[in-house]
Structure 1
Amino acid sequence: MLRNPADGTRLRILAWLAEPDTAGRGLTADDVAVRLGVPLPAARTHLRLLTALGLLRPPARTTASATAVTRCASPR
């Protein structure tokens, strides 16, 4: 799963975050697992990898139990 940063699931997550309603509120690993039909641990791993690559960022306030992210601004 981690060998290809351009994995189809990760691209779907980024496309989903580009939607105006999702971009404003962000999403959680639970959201990803339900919408994309992947196990919760896999959803968390996808979000952590995208965050490590600088494509997502955690919101200012999160709880330890939640993995919530928003999309970073596109580089200019």
Structure 2
Amino acid sequence: MPIYEYECKACGHRLEKLQKISAAPLTDCPACEQAELDRLVSAAGFRLAGSGWYETDFKSGSKKNLAGGGETSGSAA
């Protein structure tokens, strides 16, 4: 479930709420009790890093296309 950020247009209160994607957005501010909450756009909270990915762990031989492998196709000299 994603964590959504909200900000109240009336009082400026900010909050985070763990909600299902299918859940309706919150509207009532818990601080001032006005129906002025807006859902904010924020960055994703995960990063793809480390081992365990197909490119590094499951491909073999010439099928690997790792950064710094030396050869690149379609590059100009």
* Length-normalised TM-score, structure 2: 0.27
Greater share of strand = 2
Greater share of helix = 1
* Length-normalised TM-score, structure 1: 0.28
Higher RCO by CA contacts (8 Å cutoff, separation 6 or greater)? 1
